[in-house]
Structure 1
């Protein structure tokens, strides 16, 4: 029979998984308490939270939630970064902190219901964030609208120039 503390931890992990859009698994070995607090603060600002749970309990919670099996990633000192809708900002924070502290590494992730390797998880950090993507889409849309307006405006002006040229020829003749 499982201990009461393990059952309570399983409920916490399950709650974190239900409320998250996905999670990153990171190796936090060697971080001091102060560094861990700094990382957690930065992740909170990016809309994510870092938790440390027993790996076996996380395996059970992921299995219960019907998420992919990432047992091979859950070994050693793992911290779990649960994020909301956008994985890009938390991934950027993890990458930034790992470069700054030289003590954190991506182990893997679950995003969009799929298991990701460490390199695939790290690739999220290189993507533009949601606001940047929206600005790029808006720029593309306004560019198309401007091009259409120029084309539509060109037809009547070309017609007017043609009529003017014909009238000038008739006046000269």
Structure 2
């Protein structure tokens, strides 16, 4: 395999990851030591997040190929990228939390569902609750009116039972 073919393979690998990913976050990893990068990769792997370091030139070709030109201006200096395939919020959340603990990691930009985000957009995305929490909140909101209706109906039945019980007690007292 020639050097040119190897580069094309890397570009197509990056482009494929962009097409499959729900989220991608571009970071500057300068200043992180090997232990810290290994720690982050372990955390990322648990959440089905793929963290890789590619040459900026390879990422530029892939970004142009996939239509995420908004990321081009951020492909300067040492760059790594995390691709999230499941929960779009999880990728931004783990990177933001890791960057808070390790000041050497700096968020540059990101992509969510085909839209390019700047650093503030990625951080705002990280503030959102996870998918499971959002689903639970929606289901709780849908369940609340039904629960209220059940409580109202039970209140009427409870009142009827109390009234009947009082009538029974009065009849037993007079008999």
Q: TM-score, normalized by length of structure 2?
A: 0.80
Q: Any unmatched runs of 5+ in structure 1? A: 161-173
For 2:148, the equivalent position in structure 1 comes to 147
Q: Is contact 1:26-1:106 (8 Å) kept?
A: yes
SS of alignment partner, residue 70 of structure 1: helix
For 1:100, the equivalent position in structure 2 comes to 101
For 1:58, the equivalent position in structure 2 comes to 59
Q: Is contact 1:68-1:110 (8 Å) kept?
A: no
CA-to-aligned-CA distance 1:36-77 (integer Å, 9 cap, x gap): 111111111122111111112212212212334321111111
SS of alignment partner, residue 90 of structure 1: helix
For 1:130, the equivalent position in structure 2 comes to 131
Alpha-carbon distance between aligned partners in 2 of 1:156 and 1:102, rounded to the nearest angstrom: 61
Q: Any unmatched runs of 5+ in structure 2? A: 161-175
Range with greater deviation from structure 2 (18-27 or 148-157):
148-157
Shift of 1:151: 5.1
Alpha-carbon distance between aligned partners in 2 of 1:68 and 1:111, rounded to the nearest angstrom: 14
For 1:71, the equivalent position in structure 2 comes to 72
Q: Is contact 2:63-2:72 (8 Å) kept?
A: no
Q: Is contact 1:46-1:93 (8 Å) kept?
A: no
Q: Is contact 1:23-1:109 (8 Å) kept?
A: yes
For 1:45, the equivalent position in structure 2 comes to 46
Alpha-carbon distance between aligned partners in 2 of 1:69 and 1:59, rounded to the nearest angstrom: 11
Alpha-carbon distance between aligned partners in 1 of 2:92 and 2:111, rounded to the nearest angstrom: 12
For 1:87, the equivalent position in structure 2 comes to 88
For 1:23, the equivalent position in structure 2 comes to 24
Q: Is contact 2:25-2:109 (8 Å) kept?
A: yes
How well do the aligned residues superpose, as a CA RMSD in angstroms?
2.2
SS of alignment partner, residue 3 of structure 1: helix
Shift of 1:150: 4.3
Range with greater deviation from structure 2 (3-12 or 131-140):
3-12
Q: Is contact 1:48-1:82 (8 Å) kept?
A: yes
SS of alignment partner, residue 6 of structure 1: helix
For 2:116, the equivalent position in structure 1 comes to 115
